[in-house]
């Protein structure tokens, strides 16, 4: 057989780019902030509106829509009855006043790439090895409901459905109630054994831009230690109460915030830390704070360093409580271990990038992603495109259109290669 008789792998067409641009623009408009970002918290009215629009788009393009019990939204394309599935996606929820690319790019890119692939495979229906599915995971961000990555955690079994639905926001509304209110508390998950999971995302860091690379292929993630810490003091009048006798929980919180930053400074580039949220009670200008809750994060590629830091910082918290005459307790602790993603898929992605004329580099991710949850369940691949100035979780988050399109090019190439090539598919161990 001559090579000219071998059909070329499917690739993005001009109409596909136009379809992506339109769908991404629609996503960017639902929950848009005046400064060009997104405020689309999980199971909010804005989230419901975006889910409705996405379901409409999926049905228009031949997908069968299914919503599971935790609100994960699937678009299903059956190419070969009884075959495993290639699942591809990300999330549609955002941070408060977040960026319009984080998560939404991955979902819209996956939907368009899969629709294009399925359309082109109609010309060779007997060659498809897998079925295709796009997913938008519920509550990836962990902004309204904690912890993050809830939808993918329930899907993979690392969290129970009951525990996830019982999570409460700051107003006491449960995730189950919130999903019910927007009509997206669905039924049991579809039967879909996975061959692999693919996700494309904006980098949320400066490395691709600094290295002048067009694609990042994630090989592993940093570990993370996340704490919710509560200081209890005594409510009193901020005027007449004597300074020496105050039991100010907010003072304890302030000392803790400084101490958390000091931990990062001790270790240079080896550790990132933050206190991203502080809740106080009674939160009045004229009242000494009686309770302060802090959400603390330590991240590192070195799990032993995180373990040591956790032990030492527990003692630091006790010292701060003693200095401020407050009581301290650890309300919750979550350790997310360092995780390697599937090496065969990563190498395949790097090779396809090279063959496509795209500059690419292997890299780590410090942020958490649904692909990390899925990597415990099936072979998973996480691709990055550049983020301008490394800015993310910010209304000024930006990735150029040509970088978005390059990312979809590689995503479709990888999907097509896995779906059509026996050699590539044999490298992937089915879950």
What domains can you pick out in the chain, each with its CATH number?
A: 7-222+338-426 (3.40.630.10), 224-336 (3.30.70.360)
Question: Residue 142 gets which letter from DSSP?
Answer: -
Enumerate the known binding-site residues.
91, 102, 141, 201, 393
Whole-angstrom distance, CA of residue 397 vs CA of residue 104: 12
Q: Give φ, ψ of 256 to 5 degrees.
A: -65, -40
Q: What is the pLDDT of residue 240?
A: 95
pTM of the model: 0.90
Q: What is the pLDDT of residue 207?
A: 96
- Which positions ≥6 away from 98 have C-beta within 8 Å? 37, 38, 39, 40, 141, 143, 393, 394, 395, 397
Q: What is the pLDDT of residue 249?
A: 98
Q: What is the pLDDT of residue 425?
A: 42
- Which positions ≥6 away from 16 have C-beta within 8 Å? 112, 113, 115, 116, 408
Whole-angstrom distance, CA of residue 96 vs CA of residue 142: 11
Of 146, 70, 89, the C-alpha closest to 374 is 89
Enumerate the known binding-site residues for Zn(2+).
91, 102, 141, 201, 393
Q: What is the pLDDT of residue 429?
A: 42
- The tens-digit pLDDT sequence of the chain (431 residues) is 333 344 577 999 999 999 999 999 999 999 999 999 999 999 999 999 999 999 999 999 999 999 999 999 999 999 999 999 999 999 999 999 999 999 999 999 999 999 999 999 987 767 899 999 999 999 999 999 999 999 999 999 999 999 999 999 989 999 999 999 999 999 988 889 999 999 999 999 999 999 999 999 999 999 999 999 999 999 999 999 999 999 999 999 999 999 999 999 999 999 999 999 999 999 999 999 999 999 999 999 999 999 999 999 999 999 999 999 999 999 999 999 999 999 999 999 999 999 999 999 999 999 989 999 999 999 999 999 999 999 999 999 999 999 999 999 999 999 999 999 765 444 444 44
Q: Answer whether 62's CB lies under 8 Å from 117's CB.
A: no
């Amino acid at each position: 057989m001559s090579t000219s008789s071998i059909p070329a792998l499917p690739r993005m067409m001009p109409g596909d780019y136009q379809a992506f641009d339109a769908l991404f623009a629609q996503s960017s408009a639902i929950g848009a902030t005046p400064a060009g970002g997104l405020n689309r918290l999980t199971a909010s009215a804005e989230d419901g509106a975006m889910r409705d629009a996405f379901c409409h788009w999926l049905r228009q393009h031949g997908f069968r829509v299914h919503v599971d019990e935790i609100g994960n939204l699937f678009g299903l394309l059956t190419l070969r009855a009884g075959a495993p599935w290639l699942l591809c996606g990300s999330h549609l929820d955002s941070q408060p006043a977040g960026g319009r690319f984080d998560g939404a790019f991955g979902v819209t890119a996956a939907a368009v790439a899969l629709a294009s692939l399925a359309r082109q495979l109609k010309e060779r229906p007997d060659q498809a090895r897998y079925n295709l599915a796009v997913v938008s995971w519920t509550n990836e961000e962990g902004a309204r409901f904690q912890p993050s990555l809830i939808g993918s955690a329930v899907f993979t079994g690392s969290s129970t459905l009951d525990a996830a639905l019982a999570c409460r926001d700051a107003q006491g509304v449960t995730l189950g109630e919130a999903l019910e209110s927007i009509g997206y508390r669905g039924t049991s998950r579809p039967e879909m054994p996975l061959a692999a999971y693919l996700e494309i995302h904006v980098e949320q860091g400066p490395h691709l831009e600094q290295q002048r690379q067009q694609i990042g292929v994630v090989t592993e993630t940093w570990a993370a230690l996340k704490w919710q810490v509560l200081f209890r003091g005594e409510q009193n009048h901020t005027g007449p109460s004597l300074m020496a006798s105050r039991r100010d929980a907010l003072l304890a919180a302030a000392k803790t915030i400084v101490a958390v930053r000091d931990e990062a400074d001790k270790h240079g580039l080896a550790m990132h830390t933050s206190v991203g949220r502080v809740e106080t009670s009674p939160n009045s200008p004229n009242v000494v704070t009686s309770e302060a809750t802090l959400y603390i994060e330590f991240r590192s590629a070195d799990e032993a360093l995180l373990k040591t830091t956790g032990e030492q910082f527990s003692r630091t918290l006790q010292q701060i409580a003693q200095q401020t005459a407050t009581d301290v307790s650890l309300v919750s602790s979550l350790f997310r271990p360092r995780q390697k993603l599937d090496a065969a898929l990563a190498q395949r992605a790097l090779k396809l990038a090279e063959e496509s004329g795209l500059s690419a580099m292997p890299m780590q991710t410090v942020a958490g992603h649904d692909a990390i949850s899925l990597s415990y369940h099936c072979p998973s691949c996480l691709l990055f495109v550049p983020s301008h100035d490394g800015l993310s979780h910010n209304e000024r988050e930006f990735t150029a259109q040509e970088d978005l399109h390059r990312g979809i090019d590689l995503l479709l190439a990888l999907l097509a290669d896995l779906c059509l090539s026996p050699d590539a598919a044999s490298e992937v161990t089915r879950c």
